Amino acid sequence: MMPAPALDNEFAREVRAGLSTAGQKTLPCRYLYDNVGSALFEAIACLPEYGLTRADARILEAHAGEITALLPSPVVVAELGSGSGRKTRWILEALSRRQRTSYYPVEISRSALVMCERELGDIDSVSIVGFEREYLDGLLEVAALRRENQHIMVLFLGSTIGNFNREAGIDFLSALRSTLQPGDSLLLGTDLEKPAAQLIRAYDDELGVTAAFNLNLLARINRELDADFDLNQFAHEARVNREERRVEMHLRSRRNQRARIAAAEAVIDFSAGESIWTESCHKFAAEEIPFLAARAGFRCTQQCIDTQWPFAENLLIAE
């Protein structure tokens, strides 16, 4: 067999690799977030079934003062995958009461970055410089700007850590730790385990907003890679994988079909019922977080838990 031609476009390369491997087809979840995907994610955060964002916001509103009081001064704030940054207001307002604060949102979605700058641009004593970058690339740039006496507080909210497989999540936190210095901090949001029925409702809402968010990945491939996916012939599916303690999002082919992706120089066949696995959302037990943190070189100094929607915000200090 001829090897597949080399492609310059990273998106095209990753789409072809994920859809042409034998076995389970996959697509990287970060491609869910173009301008349409980021707008749909904002809508998901408002859905009654999806309590995660509101739980995170309640904790930050109630505890931002005590969390920031535990940090050394002066501190700069880097937020990985900020989205609209709405919840971050509580942290920035608490910090701005004691110091001028530089805030660096790091995002791959340009439209999310624009939303974030608009959302938080009015806070006194806070200056915002956004980085349209991958998480760790952006953090490295922030670390390079650090002045000698400054500490860094990294925010990784909304349980985005749950998108990584468990071991990959520890590797990610270790890589993040290696860009920091002892005494720097990471505020890590983690969604806690809950009943399967509640999780299915959260990731497969009645209105179909999460379905649209998931299907937009194929629509994006059509738009950007000149492909011909028939969106009506794929169904959104949320599956609870109890053993792995995660929700998986899939796009299930409704029939035997073929899609052509011109910019990836690929033709992909689907059989009826076959799925593309697009995202994982791992869930955590509050007690396991200090152990995960320790494996990555952090000490968990504070944990705030929302009881309405079990969710933990964890303050980790780099050792």
Ligand X SMILES: C[S@@+](CC[C@H](N)C(=O)[O-])C[C@H]1O[C@@H](n2cnc3c(N)ncnc32)[C@H](O)[C@@H]1O
Minimum CB–partner distance for residue 286 and ligand X (Å): 18
Find the residue with minimal CB distance to ligand X: 158
Nearer to ligand X, 43 or 235 (CB): 43
Binding site for ligand X (CB under 6 A): 30, 33, 38, 41, 45, 53, 81-83, 106-109, 112, 134-135, 157-158, 160
Number of Cβ atoms within 10 Å of the Cβ of 137: 12
Nearer Cβ to ligand X (27/268): 27
User: Quick one: 82 or 210, whose CB is closer to ligand X?
Assistant: 82
Helix and strand element counts for the chain (H, E): 10, 14
Residue type, 169: G
What does R_g of the chain's alpha carbons equal in angstroms? 20
Cα(107)–Cα(141) distance, integer angstroms = 13
Given the complex with ligand X, which of 57 and 180 has the nearer CB atom?
Answer: 57
Q: Identify the DSSP state of 164.
A: S
Shortest gap between Cβ of 271 and ligand X (angstroms)?
30
In the complex, the smallest distance separating the C-beta of residue 284 from ligand X, rounded to whole angstroms, is 15
| Shortest Å, Cβ 291 to ligand X | 23
Nearer to ligand X (CB atom), residue 43 or residue 240? 43
Q: 311-318 and 185-191: which strand pairing?
A: antiparallel
* Least distance between ligand X and beta carbon 235 (Å): 22
Residue 180 has what DSSP assignment? S
Strands 246-253 and 101-107: unpaired
The residue with tokens 């468990």 is 166
| Beta-strand pair 25-26/131-132 | unpaired
